[in-house]
Amino acid sequence: MLKTKVTLLSLSITLLLSGCQTLQTPKKDGKKSSVDGLETSDHTATVNTQPRLSANEPRFEAIQRERNLPFDLNGNRPELPLDNLWDQIAINFDLIYKYQPHYQDYLNFYINNPRHFERVSERAEPYLYLIYEAINERDMPMELALLPVIESAFIPYARSHMSAVGLWQFIPSTGRNNNLDQNWWFDGRQDVYLSTQAALNYLERLYNLNDQDWLLALASYNAGYGRIVQAKARLKRANPNAEPTYWNIRPYLPPETRNYVPQLLAVSYLHKYHRDYNLPIKPIANENYLTRIELDKQFSLHQAAELAGIDFDLLTHLNPGYLKHVSPPNGPHSLLLPIENAQRFEFALAQSHDLYNIRWQNHRVVAGDTLGQIAQRYGTSVAEIQRINNLTNSTIRIGRTLTIPIPAGAPTQLASAPTSTASTARVSQTPSSRAQQQVQTHQVRAGQSLSTIARDYRVSVSDLASWNNLDPQRPIRIGQTLNIASNSAATPTRANTTHPIQHQVFRGDSLWLIAQRYNVTIDDIRRWNQLGQNAVIRPGQALTLHLPNSTTEYVVKRGDTLWDIARAFNVNTHDILRQNGLNQRATIRPGQILMISPGT
């Protein structure tokens, strides 16, 4: 039985109108959407117009005629050995018996798409026992174990048009309301263990909000609790004596939610009786495959894979919440590993602490830099720099910022220190050398960021974050006091180093537009290019601009959004749009170069 009772007051306002979004979204206009090649459309169109051409159809109808009910769920069958996890899950089904007449129309659609079941069952293999165990511990309906079939087709990286992510398809706001961190380093919505716990917590709260009705809880999960309340109100106005069950309020729900619950019941039924319909569901061993290991601090995923003796791609597939090759500085610090590799990992970890030997430095590429020189300067290798920055060759662009992995024990080089300086300033991260340095404090003022403060004190952002135990991607607060280590009691000075870039004039450009885009003045552009007061610029003309070293040329990657990029650089989206001459409706594309000036 459920042990947790949660009242309405325990939910945030966002819970009322936000739900998790499934990728298989029936469109009201009957247009199809697809996951894994499985197309869906509006329920009515699918059921009433779909040709019955499947080779399984005669058998399907024969079984219907043989049984007292169209699908006799309680027919006598030989007991199966429960060495297949799908069978272990199916014997605990409950909802498919209670609501049998309501989902039969959906069965034909799935029977005619047997390849979908095969692919989904293959993808579910690493995660299914973890999900089964979590549901079983809470004594929740076992049909919930198949909810990721509907939500994400068991693709942990799945992303919907509503920005819902992961096996359980949390949208950003619902994810945050369920304590799933989302930052530059980590997305808890993609973490298999954390998102499963969050989804079940959320469903339990919705179950209690809906007077302990699981179908209404599922509908709330999809559409948001607020829409269920609205649908109940509409039903009451139309029929004051009607009981507010899912089936009665269904006509007042969004099209996707009208299909959502019957889809889950139909999929559950077919998983239980997949042998009757020759559905190619891959057996999964009825035993735990994964174990979760908690670690103390930030660690390297590559080192973890090496210590565990597994392929790096498998490690990231089991731990898809990590967006970088390291865990976040402030956690979480956990790993899902195959049980057979966990003992080796823990033994290797006890012998070596290389897993935790992580330090990072941002380096802005200047004229004359090569990967070899940068690697030598920071005491690392070219291969490591290429791997961390997803470089396929040795070509680097002037102005690009590289993330540099620094071996343990190597001093951290200031990013702002020019390579030509004979006595390059260094800040060691060892406690003894830090104690020898003078420390001053800085109180954060309005408009400041870690980037601007680091630039003022001529230190690196990573050092400043490290000295103050900060995540460099999280904003700082006005009035916050920061410690700054220095070799002398220096006052902040604005770094005035710049780098030149070439801007090719396009049709419609003006000096004012270019100055606005790059955050410089018209007089600067005229001076740099020896233009008179009445000079006219022409399309194709190349202008030289000198930008501060804090300005970054960012190459848009697949899956990036303006909001993600702005969060990573601690700026707002309006700054990026303004600096790049984009309007509010602009769409960014992979490979596009954006100019970003943190702190402007």
pLDDT per residue over 247-305, tens digit each? 999 999 999 999 999 999 999 999 999 999 999 999 999 999 999 999 988 888 888 99
Same domain for 459 and 508: no
**Mean pLDDT of the region 569-589:** 74
Residues 460 and 342 in one domain: no
* Same domain as 464, residue 338: no
pLDDT at 194 exceeding the cut of 80: yes
- Please indicate whether residue 323 or residue 460 has the higher confidence score (pLDDT): 323
Instruction: Read off the pLDDT of each residue in 20-29 and give the average, rounded to a whole number.
Output: 42
Which pLDDT score, from 0 to 100, does residue 209 have? 94
E strand or H helix at 501:
strand 498-504
Chain centre to alpha carbon of residue 64 = 44
Whether 550 and 489 map to the same domain: the answer is no
Residue 350: domain span = 290-356
Structural tokens at position 117: 């079941």
Residue 487 clears pLDDT 90, i.e. is over it: no
* pTM of the complete model: 0.56
- HEC readout, 106-166: HHHHHHCCHHHHHHHHHHHCCCHHHHHHHHHHHCCCHHHHHHHHHHCCCCCCCECCCCCEC
Which of 211, 241, 272 is a domain's end point?
Answer: 272
Query: 526: which 2 tokens?
Result: 């005229």
Res 513: pLDDT: 74
pLDDT category of residue 432 using cuts at 50, 70 and 90? very low
Q: What is the pLDDT of residues 525-578, one digit of tens each?
A: 888 888 887 788 888 788 888 776 556 666 676 667 787 777 666 677 777 887
Q: What are phi and psi of 567, to 5 degrees?
A: -65, -40
> What does the pLDDT look like over 99-108, one tens digit per residue?
878 888 888 8
For residues 474 and 521, state if they share a domain: no
CATH number, domain with residue 247: 1.10.530.10
Instruction: State which of 454, 471, 496 marks the end of a domain.
Output: 496
CB 327 within 8 A of CB 362: no
- Mean pLDDT of the chain, nearest integer: 75
**Cα angle for residues 560, 598, 358 (degrees, 5° grid):** 70
The better pLDDT of the pair 51, 502 is held by: 502
Backbone angles phi and psi of 325, in degrees to 5: -85, 10
Give the chain's domain count: 4
Does residue 198 sit within a domain? yes
Residues 177 and 255 in one domain: yes
| Residue 215 · residue 257 · CB < 8 Å | no
Q: Note whether 340 and 229 are same-domain residues.
A: no
Which domain-ending residue is among 336, 356, 376? 356
Q: What distance in Å separates the CA atoms of residue 451 and residue 147, rounded to the nearest whole number?
A: 43
Q: Which of 143, 151, 204, 256 is catalytic?
A: 151
Those residues whose C-beta lies under 8 Å from the C-beta of residue 439, and which sit 6 or more positions away, are 483, 484, 485, 486
Whether 325 and 435 map to the same domain: the answer is no
CATH, residue 474: 3.10.350.10
**Residue 438, helix vs strand vs coil:** strand
Same domain, 509 and 456: no
Does residue 268 share a domain with residue 141?
yes
Within a domain: 557: yes
- 396 domain residue, yes or no: no
Residue 562 lies in a domain: yes
C-alpha–C-alpha distance, residues 550 and 564, integer Å: 19
* Same structural domain, 112 and 174: yes
> Would residue 39 count as lying in a domain?
no
Residues 167 and 233 in one domain: yes
Active site residue 151: yes
Helix intervals (H) in 395-510: 431-436, 450-456, 461-467
Residue 135 included in any domain: yes
Is 48 domain-assigned? no
Domain-embedded: residue 376: no
